[in-house]
Amino acid sequence: KGAIEMEQVTFSYGPSQPPVLEGISFRIHPGEMIAVVGRSGSGKTTLTELLVRLYEVNSGVIRLDGRDIREWRLADLRRQITLVSQDGILFYGSLADNMCYGCTSPVSPSELEEAAAEASLLDEIRKMPEGFQTSVGERGLLLSGGQRQRVMIARALLR
């Protein structure tokens, strides 16, 4: 389903290091999209690294669909989670190719449109002469920063 819950999570990078995160609690409902924002060094990346178990929490618990993530096989856990970074990678090819990158099964045109709509990209794609077949250029440089990010959001939704 995709419910994520952090309950009183505390983490530091070493026993003599101060906590990077302390007493963090929140819940993300299935299908809900969030943005993690904060100053540089405030723990945003650490939060995502804990979620995919690159590190283990010092105290507290992180749950996926009500189950402690420490009980999940690591490969299964990581297959359930898609992160969209601020500086994600696009490759030379079409919008459709970039949106479908990493998909394990074929994507229908209607699924492509639905993901683009959910990522607030469909109206812009419809204005492009070649629509979903429009080239994004090398590393997506023919798109604005916001468009690149929305392509990556659509990619995450399709996975």
Q: Which ranges in 52-108 belong to alpha helices (H)?
A: 74-79, 95-100
Contacts of 145 (CB under 8 A, 6+ apart): none
Q: Could you tell me the CA-to-CA distances from 132 to 65, 75, 98 in Å, in that order? A: 34, 32, 10
CA–CA dist 50, 18 (Å, integer): 16
Q: What is the pLDDT of residue 57?
A: 96
- Residues 31-81: tens digit of each pLDDT: 887 888 888 888 888 998 999 999 999 999 999 999 999 999 998 888 877
Q: What is the largest CA-CA distance in the chain?
A: 58
Confidence band, pLDDT 50/70/90 cuts, at residue 103: confident
Please write the tens of the pLDDT for every residue from 21-41: 999 999 999 888 788 888 888
Domain locations in the chain as residue ranges: 4-79, 95-158
Q: Looking at domain 4-79, which CATH architecture does it have?
A: 3-Layer(aba) Sandwich (3.40)
DSSP string for 129-149: TTGGG-B--GGGTTS-HHHHH
Residue 159: partners with Cβ closer than 8 Å, 6 or more residues away: 82, 102, 103, 104
pLDDT confidence bin for 126, thresholds 50/70/90: very high
Is residue 96 over pLDDT 70?
yes
Looking at the whole model, is its pTM more than 0.75?
A: no
Closest CA to 155 of 97, 106, 72: 97
With the CA atoms of 132, 136, 142 and 146 taken in that order, what torsion angle do they form, in degrees rounded to the nearest 10? 70
> What distance in Å separates the CA atoms of residue 133 and residue 136, rounded to the nearest whole number?
9
pLDDT for 89 equals 80
Contact 121, 147 (CB under 8 A): yes
Q: Is the pLDDT of residue 129 over 80?
A: yes
State the pLDDT at residue 149. Answer: 87
